[in-house]
Amino acid sequence: MTGIGRRLLLLVPTVLGVLTLVFFLVHLIPGDPVEVMLGETASRADLSQLRADLGLDRPLAEQYARFLGGLAQADLGRSFFYRKPVLAVIGAALPATALLAFAALAVALLIALPVGILAAVRRDRLTDRLALVGSLVGVSMPNFWLGPMLIILFSFRLGWLPVSGREGAASLVLPALTLGTALAAILVRMTRASMLDVLGEDYLRTARAKGVGERTVIARHALRNALLPVVTIVGLQFGALLSGAVITENVFAWPGVGTLLIQAITARDYPLVQGCVLVISLCYVVVNFLTDALYTLIDPRVRT
């Protein structure tokens, strides 16, 4: 079996493990969706009736088996509160989150690669110092603080960008910047360190000795090898990006899966919580899989 095929197979138990954990965790936290749905005036009989109709009166193991059964048929159940299929509810919110996550990734790469390379090439000079201090600041700023600060500066004081919401490309700028900053900060350090490793290698000296221009040396010979660890970090950090999206979506009134997840937890909407977590963990797992696949493209040695 090829490396990729084996990794693909490994995805199944990973996702299943996450789902099992989430299923039992959401059912174990205190709070009753039935009481929230029927309101305070509901009688005991009404409550137990609804509990039975939703299958919540069954033993947890049986509920779990049903949940897995539904999953096998791509049925995540119905949201208690929207009273619609979970897939439809999430499907409506997913594009917004995907757009935000990829925009943040783009922001992070656009900042991190040039800055990281520049810092490595000008090691120990002012540019390098500034890049390092900047990345320390960037990684230290939590989203719930950075978001409002960017709003106050760019929207409130300068009036350049919308405060919140999702209308037009301009409304994507601040959320993507907020979400992408921490990742950019990590990637700056990673790119710099990785480039420094590569810059000392013999083959670069050889290339230079052959008269290849410095730009070509950096761009063609050094960067390609330096990218490998950077790609790994991007994959690993994608999970952080998704969890950061929950907070960023809240700050910017961005109608994505993060917003939905918070609502679902508050309302104890078990199927919707499970659905949101499934989607988020699937994204994470798939991105990591793609990272591995990308590896083999960048570095032929991994293919064996």
Provide the binding-site residues for other proteins, judged by CB under 8 A.
Answer: 29-32, 35-47, 49-50, 53, 81-83, 89, 92-93, 103, 106-107, 148, 151-152, 155-156, 158-173, 176, 250-253, 255-256, 259-260, 262-263, 265-268
- SS3 category, 254: coil
Nearer to other proteins, 191 or 259 (CB): 259
Minimal distance, residue 271 CB to other proteins, in Å: 14
Minimal distance, residue 66 CB to other proteins, in Å: 19
Minimal distance, residue 120 CB to other proteins, in Å: 24
Nearer to other proteins, 267 or 277 (CB): 267
Helix (H) or strand (E) holding 231: helix 223-251
Rounded CA-CA distance 146/128 in Å is 24
Nearer to other proteins, 53 or 201 (CB): 53
Q: How far is CA 37 from CA 46, 83, 89, 126, in A?
A: 11, 11, 18, 60
Nearer to other proteins, 85 or 229 (CB): 85
Is the separation of the CB atoms in 79 and 85 below 8 Å? yes
Give the type of residue at 36.
Answer: V
250 Cβ contact partners less than 8 Å away, ≥ 6 residues apart? 144, 258, 259, 262
**Orientation angle between helical segments 257-266 and 270-298, nearest 10 degrees:** 150
- SS3 category, 80: coil
Rounded CA-CA distance 254/248 in Å is 8
Nearer to other proteins, 83 or 210 (CB): 83
Minimal distance, residue 223 CB to other proteins, in Å: 22
Minimal distance, residue 259 CB to other proteins, in Å: 5
Rounded CA-CA distance 86/273 in Å is 9
**Residue whose tokens read 């509810």:** 89
Helix (H) or strand (E) holding 38: helix 33-38
Give the type of residue at 111.
Answer: I
Minimal distance, residue 291 CB to other proteins, in Å: 24
Nearer to other proteins, 99 or 236 (CB): 99
Nearer to other proteins, 161 or 298 (CB): 161
Rg (CA), the chain: 24
Minimal distance, residue 148 CB to other proteins, in Å: 5
